[in-house]
Amino acid sequence: MKNRKLLMIPGPIEMDPAVLRAIGEVTTSHVAPNFIESFGKSLELMRNIWESPKGQPFIVAGSGTLAMDMAVSNLIEPNENALVISTGYFGERYKNILETYGANVTILQAEIGETVSLEIIEKELASKDYKLLTITHVDTSTGVLTDPKPIAEIAQKHNTLSILDGVCATAGEETLQDNWGIDVVLTGSQKAIGVPPGLALLVVSERAMHVWKERKTNVQNYYGSFHNWLPIMTAYEERRPSYFGTPPVNLIRALEVSLTLIDKEGIANRVKNHIKYANAFRKAVLALGLEIVPKKEAIAANTMTAIYYPKNIDAAQFRKDIADFGVIIAGGLHAEIKNLYFRVGHMGAITKSDIVATLSAIESALEKQNYNFKSGVSVGEFLSNSN
């Protein structure tokens, strides 16, 4: 265990020591040669991690919600149709963002723990002309994983732009942006990217950039407009200084370090490790007799797990006992089941020993409430499946 509490929530996450060192470096000017190099390299590395050599990356100070906002505000125009494919809380958030910009929004809401079927999506897209659709790759409120590839294929068939909310997925779940034909893939720095909160990150396809350039009305968003940020991204990638708003220098330096680590490991290998640890963690949870929120293994996220409390467990005391053990987990987020489940993040630089410590904390907390299980079963199950 570390000499502090272990952060095992679905973001912010534990970070590589090299990233933490970068955050602590002396702050330089945003037009200093070393920072220009750092910013430019980060943009180039994003194309590798997103697997989008033709895409336009954006790095902007803000949260993942800003990335969601930028994707929509630059592409949608008033009274255009938008389709939201929702598997939890963050689908509803996208509905609210779209309506802010005057879109006519239809939401396809999955039941808790389920995904929306491709047949329903196809039928809805065929019913009228949709400008864009949004997909939540991993909904942080339910731990449900949606496969974006076939949805993007359907969107292309109907000439509809696709926006993938990868806030809890990018760099942890397989994402082949160009190959799959996804128009925007967005995330926040504090999830599987492995950097402290504060950066909105998105890569936009050539097709989506063309749609933005051809829009008939002005973007109703000053701070998030591509009009203001595209010249900045272009300049830094060409290793020239530029200015619109002061960038978070230390965060972008940390982003460069983290993206470099991911790129050296290879994004395919990084995703493979997430899948391995997630599968082993779920088996460990099931060995305790606990149930997860996703109703099928195939739609369970590899970056986090949403787990129902056992019956007759004091949820608040359970989480407190885990914290006293030295591990921080998250409570529920989805309004309909908020008090029925908890969430564990396992993405980024998380190690095998971190997950073992988390399972040990869960077992300790369960034991204090006289829950019936075989001591050590979850740790043993995890270790036997994580090699």
What pLDDT score does 158 carry?
98
Is the model's pLDDT at 148 over the cut of 80? Answer: yes
Residue 50 CB-density burial (10 A; 0-12 exposed, 13-18 middle, 19+ buried) = buried
Mean pLDDT of the chain: 97
Residues 6+ apart with CB under 8 A from 264: none
Three-class DSSP labels, 25-75: CCCCCCCCHHHHHHHHHHHHHHHHHHCCCCCEEEEEECCHHHHHHHHHHHH
The class of domain 17-265 in CATH terms is alpha beta
Q: Sorting pLDDT into bands at 50, 70 and 90, what band is 2?
A: low
What pLDDT score does 1 carry?
47
pTM: 0.97
DSSP lists the bridge partners of residue 132 as: 82, 161
Other C-beta atoms lying within 10 Å of the C-beta of residue 29: 12
Is the model's pLDDT at 155 over the cut of 50? Answer: yes
26: its two tokens: 């002396």
Percent of the chain having pLDDT more than 90? 99
pLDDT mean over 129-150: 98
For the domain spanning 6-12+267-385, the CATH number is 3.90.1150.10
The tens digit of pLDDT for each residue in 87-110 reads 999 999 999 999 999 999 999 999
Domain boundaries, the chain: 6-12+267-385, 17-265
